[in-house]
Amino acid sequence: MTFNSSSRLLITGGTGSFGKAFIAQVLNEYPQIQRIVIYSRDELKQWELQQVYPQEKYPQLRFFLGDIRDEARLSLALEGIDIVVHAAALKQVPAAEYNPMEFIKTNVLGADNLVKACLSSNVKRLVALSTDKAAAPINLYGASKLCSDKLFIAANNIKGDRDLRFSVVRYGNVMGSRGSVIPFFLKCANNGVLPITDKAMTRFNISLQDGVNMVLWSLKNAKGGEILVPKIPSYRITDVAEAIGPNCSKPVTGIRPGEKIHEEMITLADSCSTYDLGQYYSIIPANFTGSEFYQGTKHQAIPVDGGFSYNSGSNSDFLSIDQIRQLITLHVDKNFTPV
């Protein structure tokens, strides 16, 4: 599905880092879009975004205050909507370990509310954002997002004859997003100390722009029922520290509760259901083969090798220190200088 003059989009968590970037790109590429509903619970962030997009200049934007925990409010917000991007979530790993039920209410029950609200409306496409932490989760945040992924994928089984597709995109750390390591290190560098949890730690890395592009691609190309995973590079936490503060001290503090040394986006157990689409991998429902699932589409789905897994530590593509510096300047701080 592509955007046109009759398209009506709702984005949950629309005032977050992803939401703001996604809205900007949609308005730039599809200025004729009929409506964009920004659904979030933070009135201050909505007010701040309204200053960027004043009503007189952007009449297609609507700011809808609400929580995905509230199914009735969601149903009201979805009236007339045909495309949904689900970006709302609680995300901080330590907070999830301390407040597990709050994460379950938002990430799991909120996802279930959204599924039911979509089934009760005229929504045609939904793409939900996931995380690498949802693959073989060891923390509550990852487990809650795995449950969310399962809810959206299973929703395709109960849509009946509706023209409705639920899909999931799963990717790694977004460079420069709130609460991520690079903004944290940039702040810490002012004090000359960059705390490293574990010298062996690696993470997948994706730019905010690439994340937006992936969701736009998925809205147009996803069949419904798959988890899409991008082919992206990894970085070593020690290389990020060296890129930002080569002259800073780098004490090892130990990993936090619920953290992994390496992140995984496709597990060994998922390899038998994983197909290479070229730019992305696709994890399809286990009761299909790739040729069956993608029959009648333009996708050339190639099964991955037996024993395949996609892990940030064994990834074949790693960012160098110089590449990390270039990406920080491009995506995080154009005035960045190593200290």
Q: Which of 206, 205, 188 is nearest to 197 (CA)?
A: 188
DSSP string, 88-123: -----HHHHHHSHHHHIIIIIIHHHHHHHHHHTTT-
Quote the DSSP letter at residue 180.
S
* Residue from 20, 133, 145, 260 carrying the catalytic annotation: 133
Cα distance between residue 38 and residue 59, in whole Å: 13
How far is residue 101's CA from residue 281's CA, in Å, rounded to a whole number? 32
Please indicate whether residue 223 is annotated as part of the active site: no
Q: Are residues 128 and 110 in contact, defined by beta-carbon separation less than 8 angstroms?
A: no
- Residue 249 CB neighbour total at 10 angstroms: 11
Question: Which H or E run contains 254?
Answer: none
- Alpha-carbon gap, residue 305 to 302, rounded angstroms: 9
> Which are the contacts of 194, defined by CB distance < 8 A and separation ≥ 6?
185, 188, 241, 244, 245, 248, 249, 250
- Residues involved in catalysis: 133
